[in-house]
């Protein structure tokens, strides 16, 4: 079994982003701890730990109406990518050692590529808020 290509990961992400609902956002927020556990340093997703935390934080701030300077499509892409990681029976089932998480890594990577500018703007906003400016 082979890992999915970048084009396949982008396709999964775009299709998912277009169909994200409020319930999907609430699920990501409710299962944030489960998502974080998927990003352990021993898994192929470990290198995305910092990015995943920002993605969850952005989703929470959007949902709580603290930060709305982001297009709906960006939220849809992030939520879709995080829900994909939670799904153990995605394109390459997660039960297959190591290879099962490579498709998850490809989807997260594609998401980060597509929403990089919005995530960077959010990071700067979050830093200003935390510094009290």
pLDDT at 90 > cutoff 80: no
Number of domains present in the structure of the chain: 1
Can you give the residue range of the structural domain that contains 120?
Answer: 6-131
pLDDT at 54 > cutoff 90: yes
pLDDT at 51 > cutoff 80: yes
Q: Which residue has the tokens 């998401």?
A: 111
pLDDT at 103 > cutoff 80: no
Average confidence score pLDDT of the chain: 84
Is residue 31, in this structure, part of any structural domain at all? Answer: yes
Is residue 65, in this structure, part of any structural domain at all? Answer: yes
Cβ contacts of residue 27 below 8 Å, gap of 6+? 83
Query: What pLDDT, on the 0 to 100 scale, is given for residue 30?
Result: 95
Is residue 41, in this structure, part of any structural domain at all? Answer: yes
Is residue 1, in this structure, part of any structural domain at all? Answer: no
Q: What is the mean pLDDT of residues 44-58?
A: 89
Query: What pLDDT, on the 0 to 100 scale, is given for residue 10?
Result: 79
Is residue 77, in this structure, part of any structural domain at all? Answer: yes
Q: Which residue has the tokens 């920002």?
A: 54
Is residue 110, in this structure, part of any structural domain at all? Answer: yes
With 0-12 / 13-18 / 19 or more C-beta atoms within 10 angstroms meaning exposed / middle / buried, residue 14 is middle
């Amino acid at each position: 079994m082979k890992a999915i290509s970048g084009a396949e990961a982008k396709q999964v992400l775009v299709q998912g982003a277009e169909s994200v609902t409020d319930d999907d956002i609430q699920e990501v927020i409710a299962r944030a701890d489960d998502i974080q556990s998927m990003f352990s340093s021993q898994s192929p997703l470990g290198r995305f730990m910092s990015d995943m935390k920002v993605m969850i934080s952005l989703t929470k701030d959007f949902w709580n109406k603290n930060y709305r300077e982001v297009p709906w499509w960006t939220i849809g892409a992030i939520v879709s990518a995080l829900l994909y990681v939670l799904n153990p029976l995605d394109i390459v089932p997660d039960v297959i050692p190591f290879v099962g998480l490579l498709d998850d890594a490809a989807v997260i990577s594609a998401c980060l590529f597509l929403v990089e500018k919005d995530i960077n703007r959010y990071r700067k906003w979050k830093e200003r808020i935390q510094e009290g400016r």
